[in-house]
Amino acid sequence: MVTIQSDTGSALPGSMVTINGKAVGAVPTRLRLRVGRYLVEVERPGYRTWRQWLDVKADTPSTLKVKLISTTVAPTTGALLVASDVLDAEVLVDGKSAGKVPALVEQLKPGTHRVRVQAKGYAPKESSATVTAGKTTKVTLRLKPTTELKIVSEPAAVEVWVNGEKKGLAPLSLTNLKAGKHLVEGRLAGHTSVQRTVELTQGKLFTLKLELKAQRAAPATGGLRVTSNQPQALVFIDGRFVGKTPLLRPQVVVGPHVVTVRKKGFAEHLETVEVKAGTIAALTAKLTPGGASQPTSLAASQPTSKPTSRPTEDDEDTRLMNAHSARLVAPAYVVGDVSVGFPHLLEARLTTGLFDLGRVGMDAGVALRTYFVVTEVDLRLRARLLRAAPFSLAAVLALGGGGGPKSRNTFHVDFGAIGTWQYKRRFNVSAHALLSIYTDRLCPENSSENEVDACRVPPDDLTSAKVRKRFTSVRLMLGATMSVPITDWLSVFGGLEVAAAANRRSFTDTFASYMPSSDPHVYGRVGVTLKR
């Protein structure tokens, strides 16, 4: 039962009570209403309309006391009536909660107010509304369902990335994604990452489960360096031939290993070496002429392995290390190249290993090369992508630049991959594909006495203005190199390279008199490699 009466308890002649816009009588009045929410309004000539929301509950009587204010008193505040197409959506006015829709917000100062309507599962909506003293302004905000992506994982706490952006740890829900396709990735240390493509529909919930499998832990490894007072002595680890002294094995399983060093005419050297993870164990063998072999630091509990009768030719060692293949230079080794060729007439390069963790390794090199009118410095990094004998694959990044007389300068960035096939310990053949980005300045920006003739009188296909600008282009470089070891520490190599498209003007007689009339797009080099 609902009772509507004046605040003084007296009747209000001429008044009209409406509920949700329907007239139900005058004040006072009593009526029965179903459970729900109602807007009660009371009007009376000469008075401002009185409004109030009423929530009717089962078996709970309600009493509304009406206080009418005469229109002869100038109003100082106004009201907002906020509605939405989503029931029970929350209303905020100027950042403060004002109940649920439909909401009548009174006692507001005249002026502009911010209205926000929000509900779970819907994108919030905001608008501005102008309040006028003595009036009620109606605002209707319609909400759109949100697109939600819920992500769970097995195991828990998987790191979630969406479209390359980190979003947090699973389980989580994302409601700020647009409808359409998205790439979801799960990452967790010690587990294999997974990627899934999901297609979200506007207003729908999509649940995705990411299942990551644990990775098998790789055996811990360390390094082993073996030297001897006699060069080129044969080295065996646990009975297996691995190379000749001096020798560095960058990837040896952690634990004790029996090392045998042999050379014809000298006594064998036997020693047990303890290899620890992340470090390089060192062994120096002192070979004596003739006599019996004597074990050094050989653990009593460690059985001695008998060396094989002769080296296996395809065993991995440092013999085929070079700077032109996918076979990296081992840490603690330095490889030096000297070569002649075209377009760079002379080139010298030093390369050294940075680290080698088995599956992952990297080396770095620096080169000085020249064709006399321009001399460059080239810095290069190689990273192992694959090692599965007799094949190797590495990524390459090179950058550098230089200059020369008559205001010449150049800069370049090269990146790509090298693949190598090794035939036992006799030679290897490598093929590479590089994307080369270069920029050459061949003339000064302004006329100068110190410039080549082509800058003053450019060739027919260049204007006087264009010849003084930088020549910048991108070329695909395809090449092959063969390296043949003469000894363990000396190799010879030769290679050819083809430049696909883009004529490089710096390699023509227009700007260097001894160059050909046009860029031949085919280059070559031969040289020697020293390893230490």
- Please count the structural domains in the chain: 5
DSSP annotation of 7 reads T
State how far the alpha carbon of 186 is from the alpha carbons of 166, 172, 201, 212, in Å: 10, 12, 22, 8
Are 19 and 155 found together in one domain?
Answer: no
Q: Which residues pair with 272 in a beta bridge?
A: 258
Pairwise CA distance, residues 436 & 343, whole Å: 15
Domain boundaries, position 179: 148-211
- Evaluate whether 318 touches 335 at the Cβ level (below 8 Å): no
CATH code for the domain of 456: 2.40.160.20
CA angle 103, 104, 108 (to 5 degrees): 125
Residues 338, 291 share a domain: no
Of 316, 235, 312, whose CA–CA distance to 268 is shortest? 235
CB 48 within 8 A of CB 28: no
Q: Do 488 and 383 belong to one domain?
A: yes
Note whether residue 458 is domain-resident. Answer: yes
Q: Would you write out the chain's pLDDT as a tens digit for each of its 532 residues?
A: 889 998 888 888 889 999 998 999 999 999 989 998 888 999 988 888 888 888 889 888 999 998 888 877 778 888 999 999 888 899 999 999 998 988 888 889 999 999 999 998 888 999 999 999 888 899 999 998 888 899 999 999 999 999 989 999 999 988 888 889 999 999 998 899 999 999 998 888 899 999 999 887 667 889 999 999 988 899 999 988 888 899 999 889 999 999 999 998 899 999 999 999 889 999 999 999 875 444 444 333 333 334 433 333 333 456 788 899 998 888 778 999 999 999 999 999 999 989 877 678 899 999 999 999 999 999 999 999 998 878 999 999 999 999 999 989 999 999 999 999 998 878 999 999 999 999 999 999 888 888 888 998 998 888 988 999 999 999 999 999 999 999 878 999 999 999 987 789 999 998 888 899 899 999 999 999 998 7
Q: Is residue 379 domain-shared with residue 467, that is, in the same domain?
A: yes
Rounded Cα distance between 248 and 173, Å, is: 52
Picking from 266, 296, 326, the residue at the C-terminal end of a domain is 296
302, part of any domain: no
Query: Which residue's entry shows tokens 């230089």?
Result: 402
- For residue 319, being part of any structural domain is answered with no
Same domain, 430 and 350: yes
How far is 398 from 381, CA to CA, in rounded Å?
6
CA distance 488 to 475: 36
Residues 372 and 521 in one domain: yes
Residues 374, 513 within the same domain: yes
Q: Would residue 343 count as lying in a domain? A: yes
**Residues 132 and 242 grouped into a single domain:** no
Sheet with 172-174: strands ordered across: 172-174, 148-154, 205-211
Pairing mode of beta strands 221-228, 247-253: antiparallel
Please check whether residue 306 lies inside any domain of the structure. no
Residue 315 lies in a domain: no
Tell me the two tokens of residue 191.
């587990």
- State if pTM tops 0.85: no
Q: Are residues 204 and 259 both part of a single domain? A: no
Q: Is the same domain home to 506 and 406?
A: yes
Name which of 493, 479, 482, 481 is nearest 531 in CA terms. Answer: 493
Report the sign of the C-alpha dihedral through residues 466, 469, 473, 478, in that order. Answer: positive
Residue 27 maps to a domain: yes
Query: Using alpha carbons only, how large is the chain's radius of gyration in Å?
Result: 42
* CA–CA dist 64, 67 (Å, integer): 10
CATH value at residue 99: 2.60.40.1120
Task: For residues 358 and 250, state if they share a domain.
Answer: no
349 and 459 together in one domain: yes
In a domain, 73, yes or no: no
Q: What share of the chain is helix, strand, coil (3-state, %, to 5)?
A: 0, 60, 40
